[in-house]
Structure 1
Amino acid sequence: MTRSATYVETPDGQMPAHLWLPEGGTGPGLLLLQEIFGISRYVQSRAEDLADLGYVVLAPEIYWRLGVSRVAEGPQAMDEGLALMGRVDWDAAVRDAGTALGDLRGRPEVDGGAGVVGFCFGGGLGFHLAAVEEPDALVAYYGSAIPQLLELAPRVTCPSLHHLGLADAYIDGDARAAMLDALRSRPATRVETYEGADHAFDNPDLPLHHADASAAAWEHTVAFLAEQLPAT
């Protein structure tokens, strides 16, 4: 597995991005969409995991218009991440993600289609992207914006896998129920839920990490990608 810095050409300039190649150098593509902390250590770790499975992974810096690559780790990280997310131009972020998906599809290393994997902020962004760009597959971990995007659910026709903790304090009550109902109504969509898991349960750098839910979700993710976007 190798990693390099790259960029995605947009109408407004060059969006910084990070590219991971599998050992063989080629494979299906995965657009990795960041959590609220940007291209964090955790996001980089998951990119490496996906590249080790045989995927070409592209992670654009969605906060590039704000001049931020990642939030520094520390006690202020959550407040800073939430503040950055609140400043994002959502429509521009969707366009940037779509441009990055097109860039990924056009890379010579990509062979066998291109999907999207998103975490938290990136899970919701990936869901919106799937409604307008039709990737070959979508994996969304606790997409925080999805409850506000449920009108797009009929337009998400690609095979999709969603992970949601049943103790998620960020997506709770009526929002969770509406989200689960809308997603489960779609024929190509799978939803996996995890008892006792809160938001961001997959991130081992946060106190919300739930080891059992993280391991189970990753197992589901690997199997889903092998089925929908197999890497040779």
Structure 2
Amino acid sequence: MSSTQQPPNPASPPSSSSYAAAVRPPNTMAVIRTDTAGLVAEDVKITTATGVLPAYRAAPDRPGPHPVVLVVQEIFGLHEYIRDVARRLAKLGYLAIAPDLYFRQGDATVYTDIDALRAEIVNKVPDEQVMADLDACYAWSREAGGDPARLGITGFCWGGRITWLYAAHQPRLKAAVAWYGKLTGPKNALQPRHPLDVSGQLKTPVLGLYGGEDPGIPMPQVEELRSDLKKVNSASQVLVYPGAPHAFHADYRPSYRPEAAEDGWQRMKAWFAQNGLRP
């Protein structure tokens, strides 16, 4: 089993229509494509208290229990890139579950205008609802061959912020890895807190991975987070990749930086393993 992300597979490139409309890649032949050999990979339905949650799961095609990793989508919703991340984790031995956390508000993948996407879907998603949906995924994982004693989470962009919040919410979580989610911002009834507000309430260590040239997450905010974590003697760590922009892991976008993406992936694997999520 490879210890790295799967390389591009030009023999079976994903269709551009399988990506979110707002960011469809100019060249799908260049993106990372992880096959399903040795995996169970499929769309599933997860019952929650307030609806049936669509999700994508990928896991080794062998008996478990497997450590569980919740994969939290970008602002663009559950599309091909997030599904591929789930398959990459499954190749490593994890049961990866990527839920569609916007499903009550609409389909984010069909929007072509990101401002409309924010206004009409993203800004209407309550954090409390997201925490409950992730809890439902965790509960469902037991039926799907997951090990309830080995739970992790990782998220990208919008999901990076959610990862910090979930680390302050779920006491059974063993490890978390946040990829460049915003650290603070306006607050309201639906989004009352941000990562900088919960740094002293974390129930598990978080590894935060950020780009040094990300205009949406200024370095003073990152340094404030580091300082706050140090004050409470948190085992969490924050790493900055100099010169990397926002979404440096997103191989289907121009922001992709292979070296930073691969280094972050290796650090994520090590972080999960050292915090009790070794497959």
Distance 1:59 1:98 in 2: 12
Deviation at 1:108, TM superposition (A): 4.7
Instruction: Provide TM-score, normalisation by structure 2.
Output: 0.75
> 1:89 aligned to 2:126?
yes
Say if 2:178 and 2:209, in contact at 8 Å, map to a contact too: yes
> 1:121 aligned to 2:193?
no
**CA offsets per residue over residues 85-135 of structure 1, 9 Å max, x none?**
22322222222222222332x335113511111111111112111111121
* Larger radius of gyration between Structure 1 and Structure 2: 2
Distance 1:195 1:201 in 2: 11
User: Of 167, 171, 196, which aligns to 1:130?
Assistant: 167
Say if 1:37 and 1:77, in contact at 8 Å, map to a contact too: no
**CA offsets per residue over residues 175-222 of structure 1, 9 Å max, x none?**
333223224544221222100011111001122212221111111111
> 1:207 aligned to 2:254?
yes
> 1:98 aligned to 2:144?
no
User: Of 9, 22, 30, which aligns to 2:60?
Assistant: 22
Instruction: Provide TM-score, normalisation by structure 1.
Output: 0.88
Q: Which amino acid aligns with 2:146?
A: V
Deviation at 1:230, TM superposition (A): 3.8
Distance 2:243 2:81 in 1: 21
RMSD of the TM alignment (CA)?
Answer: 2.1
Give the number of aligned pairs: 228
Q: Which residue of 2 aligns with 1:219?
A: 266
User: Structure 1: any 5+ residue segments left out of the alignment?
Assistant: none
Deviation at 1:159, TM superposition (A): 2.4
Q: Which residue of 1 aligns with 2:182?
A: 144
**CA offsets per residue over residues 8-43 of structure 1, 9 Å max, x none?**
211111111111111434210111111111112111
Distance 1:25 1:182 in 2: 42
Q: Which amino acid aligns with 1:140?
A: A
Q: Which residue of 1 aligns with 2:106?
A: 67
Q: Which amino acid aligns with 1:187?
A: S
Q: Which residue of 2 aligns with 1:47?
A: 86
Report SS of the residue matched to 1:156.
Answer: coil
Percent of pairs identical after alignment?
Answer: 27
Q: Which amino acid aligns with 1:170?
A: G
Deviation at 1:72, TM superposition (A): 4.0
User: Of 42, 47, 57, which aligns to 1:9?
Assistant: 47
